[in-house]
């Protein structure tokens, strides 16, 4: 009987640990949804869709982050939450996040299949293959109660390219932009490496792993995987750009010899 009681107690404790991971995950997502909608921020229009409409985005991510850090600091000071809760609940959070992701993507797949909103749908690209459509998604801008269900990461390199396309004469880092063939930007980040935006991805991935130290190679699986993926993608980009821009691309390669990391690759 004592052994049976211990098994039940262990099962309940294990279930509670996973419940804590679910609560942490849903609390974080709930915070992003609520304060991402309420906190002030500049409202900017998104890309114009096929039906002429566009979605507007409130840029308050930095303010949301600062408030979250302050709330966590207050929770730690009050003894409500542990400052190492993520590390302590790593496995539970990993499992909860994976299950939640599968549920959400399946939900979005089903909603996309029955959606009649052609402006926000990728229906022309739907293959009919469940795995393909589930993995790549059907809807372009899936929303729930006005909340965006996706993330867009803009870094300096992408912003410079965006500004250049809107205004080719706009200064880059305070200087007139250097343009090759009237099409290719060779200033700022794009004068350092031809795919400097990928360097931002790699540095971000590496920053996730460095706090773990060097005692184990496991935390570095993601940046290593991403490095292999981006080198493969960069090679494909090079081939497409060489075919598209021809002589202009050859001149750009001479002007900017480095692919991703200056003096290394």
Question: Looking at residue 121, what DSSP letter applies?
Answer: B
Q: Are residues 144 and 237 in the same domain?
A: no
Q: Are residues 251 and 212 in the same domain?
A: yes
Where is the domain boundary, 131, 148, 165? 148
Whether 262 maps to a domain, the answer reads no
Where is the domain boundary, 148, 169, 200? 148
Q: Are residues 199 and 76 in the same domain?
A: no
DSSP letters along 161-178, please? Answer: HHHHHH-TTS-BTTBPPP
At residue 153, the pLDDT reads 32
Q: How many domains does the chain have?
A: 2
Q: Are residues 65 and 120 in the same domain?
A: yes
Whether 230 maps to a domain, the answer reads yes
At residue 14, the pLDDT reads 53
Site of tokens 């679910």: 22
Q: Are residues 142 and 202 in the same domain?
A: no
Q: Are residues 34 and 101 in the same domain?
A: yes
Q: Are residues 137 and 227 in the same domain?
A: no
Question: Looking at residue 139, what DSSP letter applies?
Answer: B
At residue 17, the pLDDT reads 59
At residue 87, the pLDDT reads 79
Q: Are residues 166 and 228 in the same domain?
A: yes
Q: Are residues 20 and 127 in the same domain?
A: yes
Evaluate whether 223 touches 202 at the Cβ level (below 8 Å).
Answer: yes
Whether 264 maps to a domain, the answer reads no
Q: How far apart are CA 80 and CA 165, in angstroms?
A: 49
Q: Taking Cα atoms as reference points, which of 102, 155, 112 lies closest to residue 137?
A: 112
At residue 184, the pLDDT reads 75
Evaluate whether 93 touches 86 at the Cβ level (below 8 Å).
Answer: yes
Residue span of the structural domain in which 124 resides: 2-148
Q: What six digits make up the tokens of 119?
A: 């402006």
Q: How far apart are CA 166 and CA 163, in angstroms?
A: 5
Q: Are residues 233 and 138 in the same domain?
A: no
Q: Are residues 160 and 144 in the same domain?
A: no
Whether 212 maps to a domain, the answer reads yes
Q: How far apart are CA 205 and CA 212, in angstroms?
A: 13
Where is the domain boundary, 129, 148, 167? 148
Q: Are residues 169 and 86 in the same domain?
A: no
Whether 261 maps to a domain, the answer reads no
What are the 10-residue block averages of pLDDT along the chain, 265 residues in total? 49 58 84 85 78 78 89 88 81 82 79 60 60 66 52 50 64 71 73 81 81 81 88 87 82 83 81
Whether 174 maps to a domain, the answer reads yes
Q: In this structure, is the dihedral angle defined by the CA atoms of residues 154, 193, 169 and 172, taken in order, positive or negative?
A: positive
Whether 242 maps to a domain, the answer reads yes
């Amino acid at each position: 009987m004592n052994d049976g009681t211990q098994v039940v107690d262990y099962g309940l404790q294990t279930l509670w640990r996973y419940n804590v991971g679910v609560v942490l995950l849903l609390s974080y997502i709930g915070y992003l949804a609520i304060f991402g909608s309420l906190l002030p921020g500049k409202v900017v229009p998104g890309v114009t869709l096929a039906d002429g409409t566009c979605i507007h985005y409130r840029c308050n991510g930095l303010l949301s982050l600062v408030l979250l850090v302050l709330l966590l600091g207050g929770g730690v000071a009050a003894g409500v939450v542990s400052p190492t809760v993520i590390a302590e609940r790593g496995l539970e959070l990993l499992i909860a996040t994976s299950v939640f992701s599968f549920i959400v993507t399946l939900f979005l797949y089903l909603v996309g299949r029955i959606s009649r909103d052609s402006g926000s749908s990728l229906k022309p690209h739907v293959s009919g293959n469940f795995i393909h459509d589930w993995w790549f998604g059907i809807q372009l801008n899936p929303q729930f109660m006005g909340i965006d269900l996706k993330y867009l990461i803009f870094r300096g390199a992408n912003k410079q390219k965006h500004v250049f396309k809107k205004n080719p004469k706009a200064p880059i880092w305070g200087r007139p932009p250097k343009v090759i063939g009237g099409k290719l930007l060779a200033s700022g980040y794009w004068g350092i490496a031809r795919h400097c935006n990928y360097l931002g991805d790699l540095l971000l991935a590496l920053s996730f792993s460095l706090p773990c130290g060097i005692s184990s190679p496991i935390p570095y699986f993601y940046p290593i995987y991403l490095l292999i993926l981006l080198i493969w993608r960069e090679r494909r980009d090079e081939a497409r750009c060489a075919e598209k821009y021809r002589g202009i691309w050859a001149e750009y390669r001479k002007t900017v010899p480095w692919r991703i990391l200056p003096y290394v690759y």
